Structure 1
Amino acid sequence: MTRRRRVYEGKAKVLFEGPEPGTLVQYFKDDATAFNGEKKSTVTGKGVLNNRISEHLMSRLGEIGIQNHFIRRLNMREQLIKEVEIIPVEVIIRNIAAGSICSRLGITEGTALPRAIIEYCFKSDDLNDPLVSEEHITAFGWATPQELDEIMNLSLRVNDFLSGLFTGIGIRLVDFKLEFGRYYDGDEVQIILADEISPDNCRLWDMATNEKLDKDRFRRDLGGVEDAYQEVARRLGILPEGGPGDLKGPSSIQ
Protein backbone atom coordinates (compact mmCIF):
# COMPACT_ATOMS: atom_id res chain seq x y z
CA MET A 1 0.00 0.00 0.00
CA THR A 2 1.24 3.48 -0.80
CA ARG A 3 1.18 6.16 1.85
CA ARG A 4 -1.13 9.07 1.15
CA ARG A 5 0.22 12.62 1.12
CA ARG A 6 -1.30 14.78 3.83
CA VAL A 7 -2.36 18.13 2.37
CA TYR A 8 -3.80 19.85 5.44
CA GLU A 9 -4.81 19.07 9.00
CA GLY A 10 -7.31 21.14 10.92
CA LYS A 11 -8.87 20.79 14.35
CA ALA A 12 -11.52 18.26 13.27
CA LYS A 13 -10.48 16.98 9.84
CA VAL A 14 -7.48 15.92 7.77
CA LEU A 15 -7.22 16.35 4.00
CA PHE A 16 -5.23 13.85 1.96
CA GLU A 17 -4.29 13.83 -1.70
CA GLY A 18 -7.07 12.19 -3.69
CA PRO A 19 -6.89 9.27 -6.14
CA GLU A 20 -7.49 11.52 -9.15
CA PRO A 21 -6.31 15.03 -10.08
CA GLY A 22 -8.57 17.68 -8.59
CA THR A 23 -9.78 15.48 -5.72
CA LEU A 24 -9.00 15.17 -2.02
CA VAL A 25 -9.91 12.68 0.69
CA GLN A 26 -11.47 14.34 3.75
CA TYR A 27 -10.99 12.39 6.99
CA PHE A 28 -13.15 13.20 10.03
CA LYS A 29 -11.42 12.98 13.41
CA ASP A 30 -12.93 12.33 16.82
CA ASP A 31 -11.12 15.39 18.20
CA ALA A 32 -13.37 17.98 19.80
CA THR A 33 -12.16 21.55 20.25
CA ALA A 34 -13.69 24.81 21.39
CA PHE A 35 -12.65 28.41 21.97
CA ASN A 36 -10.17 28.35 19.10
CA GLY A 37 -8.52 25.16 20.32
CA GLU A 38 -8.11 26.20 23.95
CA LYS A 39 -10.43 23.40 25.07
CA LYS A 40 -9.69 19.95 23.67
CA SER A 41 -10.98 16.43 24.11
CA THR A 42 -11.95 13.31 22.18
CA VAL A 43 -15.54 12.24 21.53
CA THR A 44 -15.61 8.62 20.45
CA GLY A 45 -17.45 8.16 17.17
CA LYS A 46 -17.90 11.88 16.46
CA GLY A 47 -15.94 11.68 13.21
CA VAL A 48 -18.06 8.79 11.97
CA LEU A 49 -21.28 10.65 12.72
CA ASN A 50 -20.11 13.95 11.22
CA ASN A 51 -18.96 12.19 8.06
CA ARG A 52 -22.37 10.62 7.59
CA ILE A 53 -24.40 13.71 8.55
CA SER A 54 -22.36 15.98 6.28
CA GLU A 55 -22.65 13.50 3.42
CA HIS A 56 -26.44 13.46 3.80
CA LEU A 57 -26.85 17.25 3.99
CA MET A 58 -24.40 18.03 1.18
CA SER A 59 -26.14 15.44 -1.02
CA ARG A 60 -29.55 16.93 -0.31
CA LEU A 61 -28.25 20.41 -1.11
CA GLY A 62 -26.78 19.10 -4.36
CA GLU A 63 -30.20 17.75 -5.30
CA ILE A 64 -31.64 21.28 -5.26
CA GLY A 65 -28.78 22.69 -7.34
CA ILE A 66 -26.46 24.02 -4.65
CA GLN A 67 -23.04 22.97 -5.89
CA ASN A 68 -20.64 21.68 -3.24
CA HIS A 69 -17.39 19.80 -2.95
CA PHE A 70 -18.86 16.43 -1.88
CA ILE A 71 -18.42 13.58 -4.38
CA ARG A 72 -19.06 10.39 -2.38
CA ARG A 73 -18.44 8.75 0.98
CA LEU A 74 -15.56 6.29 0.95
CA ASN A 75 -15.91 4.64 4.34
CA MET A 76 -16.99 5.43 7.90
CA ARG A 77 -14.59 8.34 8.33
CA GLU A 78 -13.66 9.49 4.85
CA GLN A 79 -15.28 11.12 1.86
CA LEU A 80 -14.01 12.02 -1.58
CA ILE A 81 -14.29 15.74 -2.32
CA LYS A 82 -13.45 18.21 -5.06
CA GLU A 83 -10.29 20.19 -4.47
CA VAL A 84 -11.09 23.89 -4.14
CA GLU A 85 -9.28 27.09 -3.31
CA ILE A 86 -10.81 27.96 0.05
CA ILE A 87 -11.92 31.58 0.45
CA PRO A 88 -10.50 32.66 3.85
CA VAL A 89 -13.86 33.83 5.18
CA GLU A 90 -16.27 31.98 7.44
CA VAL A 91 -19.92 32.79 6.83
CA ILE A 92 -22.18 32.65 9.89
CA ILE A 93 -25.94 32.56 9.34
CA ARG A 94 -28.03 33.34 12.44
CA ASN A 95 -31.76 32.69 12.83
CA ILE A 96 -31.95 32.80 16.62
CA ALA A 97 -29.66 34.65 19.02
CA ALA A 98 -27.06 32.35 20.58
CA GLY A 99 -23.35 32.32 21.23
CA SER A 100 -21.18 35.37 20.64
CA ILE A 101 -23.92 37.63 19.27
CA CYS A 102 -25.60 37.54 22.69
CA SER A 103 -22.51 38.73 24.57
CA ARG A 104 -21.56 41.25 21.87
CA LEU A 105 -24.97 42.88 21.54
CA GLY A 106 -26.62 42.10 24.88
CA ILE A 107 -29.32 39.92 23.35
CA THR A 108 -30.95 37.17 25.40
CA GLU A 109 -30.13 33.69 24.12
CA GLY A 110 -33.08 32.17 22.31
CA THR A 111 -34.42 35.47 20.97
CA ALA A 112 -35.79 35.03 17.44
CA LEU A 113 -34.03 37.43 15.10
CA PRO A 114 -36.19 39.63 12.81
CA ARG A 115 -34.60 37.94 9.79
CA ALA A 116 -31.64 35.75 9.04
CA ILE A 117 -28.46 37.69 9.79
CA ILE A 118 -25.20 36.97 7.96
CA GLU A 119 -21.86 37.69 9.61
CA TYR A 120 -18.35 37.17 8.26
CA CYS A 121 -15.16 36.13 10.06
CA PHE A 122 -11.62 36.14 8.72
CA LYS A 123 -10.26 32.58 8.92
CA SER A 124 -7.24 32.91 11.20
CA ASP A 125 -6.64 30.83 14.31
CA ASP A 126 -3.87 33.21 15.38
CA LEU A 127 -6.33 36.13 15.38
CA ASN A 128 -9.27 34.12 16.82
CA ASP A 129 -11.28 34.42 13.58
CA PRO A 130 -12.21 38.11 13.95
CA LEU A 131 -15.48 39.53 12.64
CA VAL A 132 -15.00 41.43 9.38
CA SER A 133 -17.21 43.48 7.08
CA GLU A 134 -17.91 43.15 3.37
CA GLU A 135 -15.58 46.11 2.92
CA HIS A 136 -12.71 44.20 4.50
CA ILE A 137 -13.37 41.14 2.36
CA THR A 138 -13.36 43.01 -0.94
CA ALA A 139 -10.65 45.57 -0.03
CA PHE A 140 -8.15 42.88 0.96
CA GLY A 141 -8.99 40.71 -2.04
CA TRP A 142 -10.28 37.70 -0.13
CA ALA A 143 -13.27 37.70 -2.48
CA THR A 144 -14.53 39.95 -5.25
CA PRO A 145 -17.84 41.83 -4.88
CA GLN A 146 -19.37 39.41 -7.38
CA GLU A 147 -18.11 36.40 -5.43
CA LEU A 148 -19.41 37.87 -2.19
CA ASP A 149 -22.85 38.37 -3.74
CA GLU A 150 -22.81 34.72 -4.83
CA ILE A 151 -21.72 33.59 -1.35
CA MET A 152 -24.53 35.57 0.30
CA ASN A 153 -27.16 34.25 -2.11
CA LEU A 154 -25.98 30.66 -1.66
CA SER A 155 -25.87 31.04 2.12
CA LEU A 156 -29.47 32.23 2.26
CA ARG A 157 -30.58 29.38 -0.01
CA VAL A 158 -28.79 26.86 2.21
CA ASN A 159 -30.43 28.41 5.27
CA ASP A 160 -33.91 28.23 3.75
CA PHE A 161 -33.47 24.59 2.77
CA LEU A 162 -31.82 23.36 5.95
CA SER A 163 -34.24 25.27 8.20
CA GLY A 164 -37.13 23.46 6.53
CA LEU A 165 -35.38 20.11 6.58
CA PHE A 166 -34.58 20.33 10.30
CA THR A 167 -38.03 21.68 11.18
CA GLY A 168 -39.46 18.54 9.59
CA ILE A 169 -37.60 16.38 12.12
CA GLY A 170 -38.34 18.56 15.16
CA ILE A 171 -35.04 20.46 15.25
CA ARG A 172 -34.57 24.23 15.20
CA LEU A 173 -31.62 25.48 13.13
CA VAL A 174 -30.39 28.26 15.42
CA ASP A 175 -27.25 29.24 13.50
CA PHE A 176 -24.46 27.65 11.48
CA LYS A 177 -21.16 28.31 9.76
CA LEU A 178 -20.35 27.79 6.08
CA GLU A 179 -17.17 27.91 4.04
CA PHE A 180 -16.86 28.36 0.29
CA GLY A 181 -14.16 27.77 -2.27
CA ARG A 182 -13.27 28.39 -5.89
CA TYR A 183 -13.62 25.27 -7.99
CA TYR A 184 -11.63 25.35 -11.21
CA ASP A 185 -13.21 23.32 -13.98
CA GLY A 186 -11.19 24.00 -17.10
CA ASP A 187 -11.56 27.70 -17.90
CA GLU A 188 -14.59 28.01 -15.64
CA VAL A 189 -14.38 29.08 -12.00
CA GLN A 190 -17.32 28.34 -9.70
CA ILE A 191 -18.01 29.37 -6.13
CA ILE A 192 -19.12 26.19 -4.36
CA LEU A 193 -19.91 25.12 -0.82
CA ALA A 194 -17.03 23.36 0.98
CA ASP A 195 -15.92 22.08 4.42
CA GLU A 196 -18.75 20.25 6.25
CA ILE A 197 -22.25 20.68 7.66
CA SER A 198 -22.67 18.84 10.95
CA PRO A 199 -23.42 19.42 14.64
CA ASP A 200 -19.83 20.65 14.89
CA ASN A 201 -20.66 23.84 12.98
CA CYS A 202 -24.43 24.11 13.47
CA ARG A 203 -26.43 25.02 16.57
CA LEU A 204 -29.35 22.60 16.66
CA TRP A 205 -32.05 22.73 19.35
CA ASP A 206 -34.90 20.32 19.92
CA MET A 207 -38.06 22.24 19.01
CA ALA A 208 -40.07 20.91 21.94
CA THR A 209 -37.51 21.17 24.75
CA ASN A 210 -34.74 23.48 23.43
CA GLU A 211 -32.27 20.71 24.33
CA LYS A 212 -28.96 21.35 22.59
CA LEU A 213 -28.01 18.72 20.00
CA ASP A 214 -24.68 20.17 18.90
CA LYS A 215 -21.13 21.08 19.96
CA ASP A 216 -22.42 23.46 22.63
CA ARG A 217 -22.77 20.33 24.76
CA PHE A 218 -18.98 20.11 24.66
CA ARG A 219 -18.34 23.86 24.90
CA ARG A 220 -20.53 24.20 27.99
CA ASP A 221 -19.68 20.89 29.67
CA LEU A 222 -23.25 19.64 29.36
CA GLY A 223 -22.20 16.06 28.65
CA GLY A 224 -23.89 13.65 26.25
CA VAL A 225 -22.09 14.97 23.16
CA GLU A 226 -22.07 11.67 21.28
CA ASP A 227 -25.69 10.96 22.23
CA ALA A 228 -26.74 14.37 20.85
CA TYR A 229 -24.93 13.79 17.55
CA GLN A 230 -26.45 10.32 17.31
CA GLU A 231 -29.92 11.80 17.91
CA VAL A 232 -29.44 14.19 14.97
CA ALA A 233 -28.36 11.29 12.76
CA ARG A 234 -31.32 9.18 13.88
CA ARG A 235 -33.83 11.91 13.12
CA LEU A 236 -32.26 12.38 9.70
CA GLY A 237 -32.85 8.66 9.15
CA ILE A 238 -29.19 7.80 8.55
CA LEU A 239 -28.15 5.98 11.74
CA PRO A 240 -28.82 2.23 11.99
CA GLU A 241 -30.14 0.89 15.26
CA GLY A 242 -26.74 -0.62 16.03
CA GLY A 243 -25.08 2.81 16.17
CA PRO A 244 -22.34 4.51 14.18
CA GLY A 245 -20.22 1.36 14.03
CA ASP A 246 -22.73 -0.09 11.55
CA LEU A 247 -22.17 2.63 8.97
CA LYS A 248 -20.34 0.85 6.19
CA GLY A 249 -18.62 2.12 3.09
CA PRO A 250 -16.04 1.04 0.49
CA SER A 251 -12.50 0.33 1.58
CA SER A 252 -10.27 3.27 2.44
CA ILE A 253 -8.11 4.67 -0.33
CA GLN A 254 -4.43 4.05 0.39
Structure 2
Amino acid sequence: AAEGQTNADDTLVVEASTPSLYAPQQSADPKFSRPVADTTRTMTVISEQVIKDQGATNLTDALKNVPGVGAFFAGENGNSTTGDAIYMRGADTSNSIYIDGIRDIGSVSRDTFNTEQVEVIKGPSGTDYGRSAPTGSINMISKQPRNDSGIDASASIGSAWFRRGTLDVNQVIGDTTAVRLNVMGEKTHDAGRDKVKNERYGVAPSVAFGLGTANRLYLNYLHVTQHNTPDGGIPTIG
Protein backbone atom coordinates (compact mmCIF):
# COMPACT_ATOMS: atom_id res chain seq x y z
CA ALA A 1 0.00 0.00 0.00
CA ALA A 2 2.89 2.33 0.75
CA GLU A 3 4.25 1.87 -2.79
CA GLY A 4 0.97 3.09 -4.34
CA GLN A 5 0.93 6.39 -2.48
CA THR A 6 1.90 9.62 -4.27
CA ASN A 7 3.59 12.48 -2.48
CA ALA A 8 2.39 15.91 -3.63
CA ASP A 9 5.88 17.29 -3.04
CA ASP A 10 7.21 15.08 -5.84
CA THR A 11 5.10 16.80 -8.53
CA LEU A 12 7.17 18.76 -11.05
CA VAL A 13 5.50 21.56 -13.00
CA VAL A 14 7.30 23.04 -16.02
CA GLU A 15 6.05 26.21 -17.69
CA ALA A 16 7.53 27.61 -20.89
CA SER A 17 6.53 29.67 -23.87
CA THR A 18 7.72 29.70 -27.45
CA PRO A 19 7.89 33.03 -29.27
CA SER A 20 5.46 33.16 -32.18
CA LEU A 21 6.98 33.61 -35.63
CA TYR A 22 3.70 35.05 -36.91
CA ALA A 23 2.68 37.40 -34.07
CA PRO A 24 5.70 39.22 -32.59
CA GLN A 25 5.08 40.36 -29.04
CA GLN A 26 7.64 43.16 -29.10
CA SER A 27 8.28 46.15 -31.33
CA ALA A 28 11.80 46.42 -32.75
CA ASP A 29 11.66 50.20 -32.31
CA PRO A 30 13.55 51.20 -29.12
CA LYS A 31 10.91 53.87 -28.52
CA PHE A 32 8.49 51.11 -27.55
CA SER A 33 10.00 49.10 -24.71
CA ARG A 34 6.77 47.44 -23.59
CA PRO A 35 5.16 44.40 -25.26
CA VAL A 36 2.70 45.22 -28.03
CA ALA A 37 -0.25 44.09 -25.90
CA ASP A 38 0.74 46.53 -23.13
CA THR A 39 1.20 49.64 -25.26
CA THR A 40 -1.39 52.40 -25.30
CA ARG A 41 -1.32 52.49 -29.11
CA THR A 42 -3.10 50.39 -31.72
CA MET A 43 -0.12 48.59 -33.23
CA THR A 44 0.12 45.74 -35.73
CA VAL A 45 3.45 44.00 -36.33
CA ILE A 46 3.96 42.04 -39.57
CA SER A 47 6.80 39.58 -39.00
CA GLU A 48 9.46 38.44 -41.45
CA GLN A 49 7.96 34.93 -41.38
CA VAL A 50 4.58 36.25 -42.54
CA ILE A 51 6.25 38.23 -45.34
CA LYS A 52 8.17 35.12 -46.42
CA ASP A 53 5.26 32.69 -46.32
CA GLN A 54 2.95 35.03 -48.24
CA GLY A 55 5.59 35.95 -50.82
CA ALA A 56 5.04 39.65 -50.14
CA THR A 57 7.79 41.29 -52.16
CA ASN A 58 6.79 44.89 -51.48
CA LEU A 59 5.28 47.05 -48.77
CA THR A 60 1.87 47.18 -50.43
CA ASP A 61 1.51 43.39 -50.33
CA ALA A 62 2.67 43.22 -46.70
CA LEU A 63 0.11 45.82 -45.60
CA LYS A 64 -2.74 43.59 -46.79
CA ASN A 65 -2.43 41.95 -43.36
CA VAL A 66 -3.57 45.13 -41.59
CA PRO A 67 -7.28 46.05 -41.45
CA GLY A 68 -8.09 49.59 -42.52
CA VAL A 69 -4.93 49.99 -44.61
CA GLY A 70 -4.97 49.88 -48.40
CA ALA A 71 -3.22 51.05 -51.54
CA PHE A 72 -4.78 52.74 -54.54
CA PHE A 73 -3.05 52.87 -57.92
CA ALA A 74 -5.89 53.61 -60.33
CA GLY A 75 -9.54 54.55 -60.36
CA GLU A 76 -11.26 56.96 -57.99
CA ASN A 77 -8.79 58.66 -55.62
CA GLY A 78 -6.01 56.70 -57.31
CA ASN A 79 -2.92 57.64 -59.28
CA SER A 80 -0.75 56.20 -62.02
CA THR A 81 2.62 56.50 -60.30
CA THR A 82 4.76 53.53 -59.41
CA GLY A 83 5.23 54.70 -55.82
CA ASP A 84 3.46 53.44 -52.71
CA ALA A 85 0.05 55.16 -52.46
CA ILE A 86 -0.93 54.08 -48.95
CA TYR A 87 -4.25 55.01 -47.41
CA MET A 88 -5.09 54.41 -43.76
CA ARG A 89 -8.62 54.87 -42.44
CA GLY A 90 -9.52 56.57 -45.73
CA ALA A 91 -6.78 59.22 -45.67
CA ASP A 92 -3.46 59.46 -47.48
CA THR A 93 -0.60 58.15 -45.33
CA SER A 94 2.11 58.02 -48.00
CA ASN A 95 4.14 60.73 -46.24
CA SER A 96 4.17 58.81 -42.95
CA ILE A 97 6.34 55.89 -44.04
CA TYR A 98 9.54 55.40 -42.04
CA ILE A 99 12.59 53.15 -42.25
CA ASP A 100 14.03 52.41 -38.81
CA GLY A 101 12.20 55.47 -37.48
CA ILE A 102 13.54 57.84 -40.17
CA ARG A 103 11.06 59.36 -42.61
CA ASP A 104 11.25 57.99 -46.18
CA ILE A 105 9.52 60.44 -48.51
CA GLY A 106 10.58 58.93 -51.82
CA SER A 107 7.87 58.17 -54.37
CA VAL A 108 9.00 54.58 -54.90
CA SER A 109 7.67 51.08 -54.56
CA ARG A 110 9.39 49.84 -51.40
CA ASP A 111 10.75 46.30 -51.52
CA THR A 112 10.84 43.97 -48.50
CA PHE A 113 14.09 42.12 -49.29
CA ASN A 114 15.85 43.97 -46.44
CA THR A 115 12.87 44.18 -44.06
CA GLU A 116 12.81 42.34 -40.73
CA GLN A 117 9.26 43.38 -39.89
CA VAL A 118 6.70 46.09 -40.63
CA GLU A 119 5.09 47.99 -37.76
CA VAL A 120 1.82 49.86 -38.31
CA ILE A 121 0.59 52.34 -35.70
CA LYS A 122 -2.94 53.69 -36.06
CA GLY A 123 -3.72 57.16 -34.78
CA PRO A 124 -1.56 60.30 -34.46
CA SER A 125 2.16 59.52 -34.14
CA GLY A 126 3.58 63.00 -33.67
CA THR A 127 5.06 62.18 -30.28
CA ASP A 128 6.85 59.16 -31.77
CA TYR A 129 8.19 60.36 -35.12
CA GLY A 130 7.38 64.06 -35.37
CA ARG A 131 5.13 65.42 -38.12
CA SER A 132 3.01 62.62 -39.55
CA ALA A 133 -0.46 61.88 -40.89
CA PRO A 134 -3.22 61.95 -38.25
CA THR A 135 -4.36 58.50 -39.36
CA GLY A 136 -1.15 56.68 -38.39
CA SER A 137 2.34 55.70 -39.49
CA ILE A 138 4.23 52.77 -41.02
CA ASN A 139 7.72 51.83 -39.86
CA MET A 140 9.83 49.33 -41.83
CA ILE A 141 12.48 47.68 -39.63
CA SER A 142 15.66 46.77 -41.52
CA LYS A 143 17.48 43.46 -41.17
CA GLN A 144 20.49 43.79 -38.87
CA PRO A 145 23.58 41.60 -38.42
CA ARG A 146 23.11 38.93 -35.77
CA ASN A 147 25.42 36.76 -33.69
CA ASP A 148 25.20 33.64 -35.86
CA SER A 149 26.41 32.88 -39.37
CA GLY A 150 24.10 31.70 -42.12
CA ILE A 151 22.91 32.02 -45.71
CA ASP A 152 19.33 32.31 -46.95
CA ALA A 153 18.55 32.40 -50.68
CA SER A 154 15.33 32.34 -52.67
CA ALA A 155 14.29 32.22 -56.33
CA SER A 156 10.81 32.77 -57.74
CA ILE A 157 9.21 32.58 -61.17
CA GLY A 158 5.66 33.31 -62.22
CA SER A 159 3.31 34.50 -64.92
CA ALA A 160 4.04 37.52 -67.10
CA TRP A 161 7.73 36.64 -67.09
CA PHE A 162 8.06 37.25 -63.37
CA ARG A 163 11.57 36.43 -62.14
CA ARG A 164 12.99 37.26 -58.73
CA GLY A 165 15.99 36.24 -56.66
CA THR A 166 17.22 37.23 -53.20
CA LEU A 167 20.31 36.43 -51.13
CA ASP A 168 20.81 37.03 -47.40
CA VAL A 169 24.28 36.35 -45.95
CA ASN A 170 25.20 36.87 -42.28
CA GLN A 171 28.78 36.32 -41.10
CA VAL A 172 30.15 36.61 -37.56
CA ILE A 173 33.56 38.28 -37.23
CA GLY A 174 34.97 37.90 -33.75
CA ASP A 175 32.93 37.65 -30.56
CA THR A 176 30.86 40.84 -30.86
CA THR A 177 31.05 41.85 -34.53
CA ALA A 178 29.08 40.64 -37.55
CA VAL A 179 28.37 41.71 -41.12
CA ARG A 180 25.29 41.09 -43.24
CA LEU A 181 24.54 41.47 -46.93
CA ASN A 182 21.15 41.39 -48.63
CA VAL A 183 20.79 41.57 -52.41
CA MET A 184 17.74 41.38 -54.67
CA GLY A 185 16.89 41.37 -58.36
CA GLU A 186 13.46 41.27 -60.01
CA LYS A 187 12.02 41.54 -63.53
CA THR A 188 8.38 41.28 -64.50
CA HIS A 189 5.81 42.30 -67.11
CA ASP A 190 2.21 43.24 -66.44
CA ALA A 191 -0.08 40.36 -67.41
CA GLY A 192 -2.19 41.25 -70.43
CA ARG A 193 -0.50 44.62 -70.95
CA ASP A 194 1.96 45.53 -73.70
CA LYS A 195 4.98 47.72 -73.05
CA VAL A 196 4.45 47.64 -69.28
CA LYS A 197 7.31 46.14 -67.34
CA ASN A 198 9.08 46.61 -64.04
CA GLU A 199 12.66 46.01 -62.97
CA ARG A 200 14.26 46.51 -59.59
CA TYR A 201 17.63 45.74 -58.05
CA GLY A 202 18.80 46.28 -54.50
CA VAL A 203 21.81 45.84 -52.24
CA ALA A 204 21.92 46.39 -48.48
CA PRO A 205 25.21 45.79 -46.61
CA SER A 206 25.39 46.32 -42.84
CA VAL A 207 27.83 45.82 -39.97
CA ALA A 208 27.25 45.57 -36.23
CA PHE A 209 29.64 46.13 -33.33
CA GLY A 210 29.09 45.15 -29.71
CA LEU A 211 26.65 42.29 -30.27
CA GLY A 212 25.72 40.65 -26.99
CA THR A 213 26.83 43.68 -24.98
CA ALA A 214 24.99 46.63 -23.47
CA ASN A 215 26.32 49.04 -26.12
CA ARG A 216 25.84 48.29 -29.82
CA LEU A 217 26.54 50.17 -33.03
CA TYR A 218 24.90 49.40 -36.38
CA LEU A 219 25.96 50.81 -39.75
CA ASN A 220 23.54 50.28 -42.64
CA TYR A 221 23.46 51.14 -46.33
CA LEU A 222 20.57 50.61 -48.75
CA HIS A 223 20.63 51.17 -52.50
CA VAL A 224 17.66 50.31 -54.74
CA THR A 225 17.37 50.95 -58.48
CA GLN A 226 13.98 50.74 -60.18
CA HIS A 227 12.94 50.94 -63.83
CA ASN A 228 9.16 50.94 -63.73
CA THR A 229 6.55 51.87 -66.33
CA PRO A 230 3.64 53.93 -64.92
CA ASP A 231 0.32 52.34 -65.81
CA GLY A 232 -2.96 54.01 -64.95
CA GLY A 233 -5.14 51.40 -66.62
CA ILE A 234 -5.89 53.44 -69.77
CA PRO A 235 -3.57 55.19 -72.25
CA THR A 236 -2.74 58.70 -71.03
CA ILE A 237 0.22 59.53 -73.28
CA GLY A 238 0.19 58.97 -77.01
Comparing both structures, which one devotes a greater share of its residues to helix? 1
Comparing both structures, which one devotes a greater share of its residues to strand? 2
Q: Same fold (TM over 0.5)?
A: no
Q: What TM-score does the superposition give when structure 2 sets the normalisation length?
A: 0.30
